[in-house]
Amino acid sequence: MPVMKGKELRIVGFLCNWCSYGGADTAGVARAEQPTDLRIVRVPCSGRVDSLFIVKALLNGADGVLVSGCHPRDCHYSAGNFYARRRLEVLKRFLPVLGIDDARFEYTWVSASEGQRWRQVVASFTSRIHALGKAPRLGEDAQALLKAVGTAALPPPPLRTLGTGKNAPLDSLKEAIKEKLPELECVIGWRQGYDAAHTTPLFIRKTEDIDKLVWGPLNVANPAVYLPRFKGGKTGIVVKGCDARSVVELLQENLIAREDVTIFAMPCEGTLDMARVNEKLGRYAVVDGVVRDEAGVVITVDGKEHRFDMAEYAQNKCRGCVNPAAVLADVAVGGAPEIPADAPVPLELGLLDAMSLEERRAFWSSRMKRCLRCYACRNACPMCVCRDHCVSDTRDPHWMTQEADVAQKLFFQTIHALHLAGRCTGCGECQRACPVGIPILALRQQTARAVEELFSGYRPGLDPAAVPPLLGYETEEQNIHEREWK
């Protein structure tokens, strides 16, 4: 392999100190001829390589990234490379979602004595990156490409009939809460918001608060986001099916204790897409009434009636929901709806699936331009539990700059999506909270699908005893195989 003097591309290599860095050294001592594109960053162990190192490099101008560590079972910290293997494999499947060719990233194992193997790995990876050429930058040709993508995707039909909660046994739920309230510090639910067409969280501390509880398709927020704040106290929570999955995931991660939480469950009949509802209502002075019937909701504002049929105005996440009843409950009120076997592909997932890499890059460039970096998506997420220690806020290390460019904004969303890999229960609160309507749930759904494929159908939030796959490993992974270097 000739040295590519004067034609180097930018390739970043993260090498573990104990094996691969030694292997690179062995190749150097043996004067093995190697391409000169690689810039090596020495790390203590491949387990130290955060997926965000790689995404940050690729979003900031690297043409390729290579990670190399000790062979499986040889890690000097026992299991660092086992954890890295799972994380890096998920990343490999996630990069194309952002419009980055996954061939631009690779990970492998090289021991300190394998100078020849190291030479082969570097030569092979460098040739691959040269064949791909310089990495395209975000935003290049975005407008032209977007015309090809189109934006008029229609929501899929609902999987089952979505109701309005009209016949939900709210009185039975209130009775159950009344009975348990003396043992609890608080019960979290929903109440009417600033008007009858909107709801807001309700914290029931006294018996008289119970009458403020409401139920129906306007209960869009996920109350599980408040649960960790009550850690240590006895708390109750009223849940829809998706909220219950978030509670289970919090239990899985020991962020709350099972004995401290009382779960009150009602079977969910779907919730409204409030962004579209608000758009149709427009500016108004007063809500005259909200009436629910079998098909939907009629909201009258300033004397004018607006009809919202659930078949048309339900949130996309509700259309394919297969867990409308809580997977875990202490008090379950009402019967569980029947679920047909085949769930449709969620709208946002299908939208990205239909795009090429170039179109996805253009798609995210145009959508992320609108991002305000308000962090509403993070704050609404029940699984985003770092709060004051979020890496996007830290100055040491300084992960993100204050620049308002597309790369920074997309990097923030990548942080969120990758931190939720194997943890996101798909409640869609991030997307609902976004004030500028960026379809960020698609990033989480794509990651969730990668996790499901890699880890034997694992879905977060279904089993309180299950360990999230990226918090564990297997010495022999069923679906992760080392790639050959030719």
Nearer residue to ligand FES within complex by CB, 462 or 480:
480
Selected binder of ligand FES within 26, 37, 38, 46 (CB under 6 A): 46
Closest by Cα among 203, 320, 275 to 438: 275
User: Is residue 372 within 8 Å of 364, Cβ to Cβ?
Assistant: no
Piece of 22-30, 40-48, 194-202, 443-451 that binds ligand FES (CB under 6 A): 40-48
What is the Cα–Cα distance from 447 to 458, expressed in whole angstroms? 12
219 near ligand FES (CB under 6 A): no
C-beta of residue 304 within 8 angstroms of C-beta of residue 251: no
- Please identify, using beta-carbon distances, which residue of 16 and 181 lies nearer to ligand FES: 16
With CB under 6 A, what is the number of residues at the site for ligand FES? 13
Q: Does 111 interact with ligand FES (rule: CB under 6 A)?
A: no
Of the ranges 68-76, 323-331, 367-375, 450-458, which one interacts with ligand FES (CB under 6 A)?
A: 68-76
Neighbour order of strands in the sheet with 105-109: 38-43, 11-16, 64-69, 105-109
Kindly tell me which residue out of 9, 11, 12, 19 binds ligand FES, with binding defined by CB under 6 A.
Answer: 19
Which residue number, 45 or 100, has a Cβ lying nearer to ligand FES? Answer: 45
The verdict on 45 binding ligand FES (CB under 6 A) reads yes
236 binds ligand FES (CB under 6 A): no
Residue 108, interface with ligand FES (CB under 6 A)? no
Figure out which of the listed residues 35, 64, 69, 139 binds ligand FES, where binding follows CB under 6 A.
69
Choose, by CB under 6 A, the member of 77, 203, 284, 485 that binds ligand FES: 77
Of 70, 110, 176, 441, which lies in the binding site for ligand FES, with binding defined by CB under 6 A? Answer: 70
Asked if 76 interacts with ligand FES (CB under 6 A), we say yes
CB of 22 to ligand FES, least distance (A): 9
Q: Is 13 in the site for ligand FES (CB under 6 A)?
A: no
Candidates 25-33, 73-81, 98-106, 160-168; binding stretch for ligand FES (CB under 6 A): 73-81
Q: What is the largest CA-CA distance in the chain?
A: 85
Q: Answer yes or no whether residue 26 interacts with ligand FES by CB under 6 A.
A: no
Shortest distance in whole angstroms from residue 90 CB to ligand FES: 18
Q: Looking at beta carbons only, is 22 or 139 nearer to ligand FES?
A: 22
Residue 65: what residue type? Answer: V
Site residues for ligand FES per CB under 6 A: 16, 18-19, 45-47, 69-70, 75-77, 80-81
